[in-house]
């Protein structure tokens, strides 16, 4: 059994229409309520049907930036945007129990400047390879709530209050009001595992969004500064726990930071720079099994997501923060930690040239999202591919890989979701894939 700090509460279930019972809880069907909320199919070219490729773009959907969700709270945020604005997709997960997808929103508009109630969406995503499209139906929006039923907010103001209470005044580390949700996974028991960048934290929620547990994150992964002055260790604000993965057998949980911890980088002009991203590997009891180093392509990229292939191999989404035609790096790697060195006893690893005794996670390029054959590159290229999940396999045996993009809740920016077909032979062997050259 995984070890959790318990948060005891009763789930609060909102009734808006007739309920549909699913695995012990009641969910409620609702459609996107306005014309603006209707997904717009993209104008991207169809994949080349004649091309025999181990990775094929099968479908895409473009969702208008002014689309609305099914948030149960009405009104507007401090910046005038509606409380029910759909966007900010930071994570995606396929729930086999319901045959539906979960879309996770991050902290909201304005990079934390508004009191956005944190949420996730249950959706039907239907892939139509013949037309290279995806059809989406929004089933329900659920708010993330504390154990006592209060909505978690994405605002920097709430985060600042939490930080001051826990670090300045010796407050309760288990009491917090703000979240920046970045990754989401379905657990074997039907609950949801969420990575939070603010804490950073690894949290367990019920399927209806109530907090029921919290995993212990080591202190040297924690946030020890809420501004531009850094200490000797810990996460960088807005660059903390980004990706979360659960292996198929459930033997491991792996959490990743977006960029190097303070102790694994160098500080220049108020920024922490480096290539060594430290992963936190937990066993099935929730105890720290190991820490390993994943090396970014260069100092301009960050790690957005991790997705388990098996017990030791993962897909890693690595990208720059550049939109449109100037984008250079939006890549998905196969990463293998089988031979990676446990670096728990190495508290500082600032140099990209690791000591000979330390082996980093091995990585091979699987998908370059900017490859011209996908038609994603150019002026319309999204800045932030953020989430990945496996979907249902195709009739021909290929796996489907789904990727969602974050539009930062900008009404003029669309949200994008892509579905790729992945040949199983590519996943089973990396011999023919490209391995990054050493600097």
Alpha-carbon distance 233 to 225, whole Å? 9
Average pLDDT, stretch 55-82? Answer: 97
Q: Is the pLDDT of residue 9 over 60?
A: no
Higher per-residue pLDDT: 431 or 46: 431
pLDDT of residue 428: 80
**Is 5-428 assigned to CATH 2.120.10?**
yes
Q: What's residue 111's pLDDT? A: 87
pLDDT, tens only, 291-318 = 999 999 999 999 999 999 999 999 999 9
CA 67 to chain CA mean position, Å: 21
Q: Is the pLDDT of residue 3 over 90?
A: no
- Over range 177-185, report the average pLDDT: 97
List C-alpha distances in Å: 276 to 20, 223, 226, 294. 46, 18, 22, 6
Helix, strand, coil % over all residues of the chain, rounded to 5 = 10, 40, 50
Phi, psi angle pair for 320, to nearest 5°: -90, -175
pLDDT at 356 over 70: yes
Q: What is the pLDDT of residue 393?
A: 96
What are 399-409's pLDDT values in tens digits?
999 999 999 99
Q: Compute CA distances 359 → 283, 329, 354, whole Å.
A: 21, 24, 8
Confidence of residue 169 (pLDDT cuts 50, 70, 90): low
Q: Which comes out higher in pLDDT, residue 268 or 338? A: 338
Cα distance between residue 3 and residue 7, in whole Å: 12
Is the per-residue pLDDT at 174 higher than 90?
no
User: What average pLDDT does the segment 225-230 reach?
Assistant: 70
With a cut of 50, say whether residue 21 has pLDDT above it.
Answer: no
């Amino acid at each position: 059994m995984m070890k959790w700090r318990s948060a005891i509460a009763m789930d609060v279930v909102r009734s808006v229409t007739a309920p549909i019972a699913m695995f012990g809880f009641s969910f409620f069907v609702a459609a996107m309520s306005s014309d603006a909320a209707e997904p717009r199919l993209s104008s991207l070219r169809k994949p080349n049907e004649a091309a025999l490729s181990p990775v094929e773009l099968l479908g895409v959907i473009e969702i208008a930036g002014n689309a609305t969700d099914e948030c149960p709270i009405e009104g507007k945020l401090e910046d005038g945007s509606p409380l029910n604005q759909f966007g900010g997709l930071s994570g995606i997960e396929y729930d086999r129990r319901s045959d539906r997808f979960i879309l996770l929103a991050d902290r909201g508009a304005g990079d934390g400047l508004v009191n956005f109630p944190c949420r996730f969406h249950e959706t039907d995503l239907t892939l139509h390879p013949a037309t290279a499209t995806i059809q989406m139906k929004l089933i329900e929006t659920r708010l993330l709530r504390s154990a006592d039923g209060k909505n978690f907010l994405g605002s920097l103001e709430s985060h600042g209050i939490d930080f001051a209470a826990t670090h300045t005044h010796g407050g309760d580390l288990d009491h917090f009001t703000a979240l920046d949700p970045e990754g989401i996974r379905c657990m074997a028991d039907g609950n949801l595992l969420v990575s939070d960048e603010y804490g950073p934290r690894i949290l367990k929620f019920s399927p209806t969004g109530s907090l029921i547990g919290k995993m212990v994150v080591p202190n040297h992964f924690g946030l020890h500064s809420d501004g531009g002055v850094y200490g000797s260790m810990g996460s960088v604000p807005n660059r903390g726990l980004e990706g979360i993965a659960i292996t198929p057998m459930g033997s491991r949980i792996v959490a990743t930071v977006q960029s190097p911890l303070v102790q694994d980088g160098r500080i220049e002009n108020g920024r922490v720079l480096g290539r060594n991203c430290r992963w936190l590997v937990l066993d099935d009891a929730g105890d720290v099994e190991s820490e390993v180093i994943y090396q970014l392509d260069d100092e301009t990229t960050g790690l957005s997501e991790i997705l388990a292939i098996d017990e030791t191999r993962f897909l890693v989404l690595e990208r720059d923060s550049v939109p449109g035609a100037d984008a250079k790096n939006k890549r998905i790697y196969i990463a293998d930690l089988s031979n990676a060195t446990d670096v728990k006893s190495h508290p500082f690893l600032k140099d990209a040239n690791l000591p000979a005794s330390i082996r980093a996670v091995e990585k091979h390029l699987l998908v370059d999202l900017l490859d011209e054959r996908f038609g994603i590159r150019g002026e319309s290229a999204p800045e932030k591919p953020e989430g990945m999940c496996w979907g249902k396999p195709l009739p021909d045996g290929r796996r489907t890989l789904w990727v969602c993009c974050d539009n930062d809740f900008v009404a003029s920016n669309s949200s994008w979701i892509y579905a790729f077909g992945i040949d199983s032979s590519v996943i089973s062997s990396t011999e023919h894939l490209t391995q990054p050259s050493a600097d």
